[in-house]
Structure 1
Amino acid sequence: MDISTLEALKPMLISFQTLALLVLFAGIVLWAYSKRRKGSFDDAANSIFDDEDKAKGTRQGTEQDRAGANKK
């Protein structure tokens, strides 16, 4: 194969590359919006609130009064 043959195949290779990327994009979109993934995505989205719920329920360290001084 010489350079002229590769230059002749270049438009066809670009077309295959574009088609492959389109199929990959469609696959990712279908995967992201599938109903099987909804639960795990919801869990991940709400995970930032888990630490706040745990912190409200239990106190660590010493208790402080309104002024910030430690109670005994």
Structure 2
Amino acid sequence: MDFSTLEALKPTIISFQTLLLFVMFIGLVIWAYSKRRKHKFDAIANSIFDDEDLAGSASQGTGQDRAGANKE
């Protein structure tokens, strides 16, 4: 295989690469939006609110004013 053969195959290789990436993208979208994963993704999305009660009770010892300084 010489250089001219590789140059002739270049458009074909690029076309297959584009097609492969497009199929992988469609697969990823289907995986992300499948109904089996919805419950898990919702739980992960709402996990930031789970620790709100713990963080609120830890800071009740001292109050802060609007500037962030501790009140006496």
The aligned residue for residue 33 of structure 1 is 33
TM-score w.r.t. the length of structure 1 is: 0.76
TM-score normalised by L of structure 2: 0.76
Mapped to 2, the partners of 1:24 and 1:55 lie a distance apart of 41
Number of corresponding residues: 66
Name structure 1 gaps, 5 residues minimum. Answer: none
Structure 2: runs of 5 or more not aligned: 64-70
Partner of 1:10: 10
Alignment root-mean-square deviation, CA: 2.3
Tell me the equivalent position of 1:49.
49
Matches of residues 53-72 of structure 1 in structure 2 within 5 Å? Answer: 53-55=53-55, 59=57
The sequence identity of aligned pairs, in percent, is 64
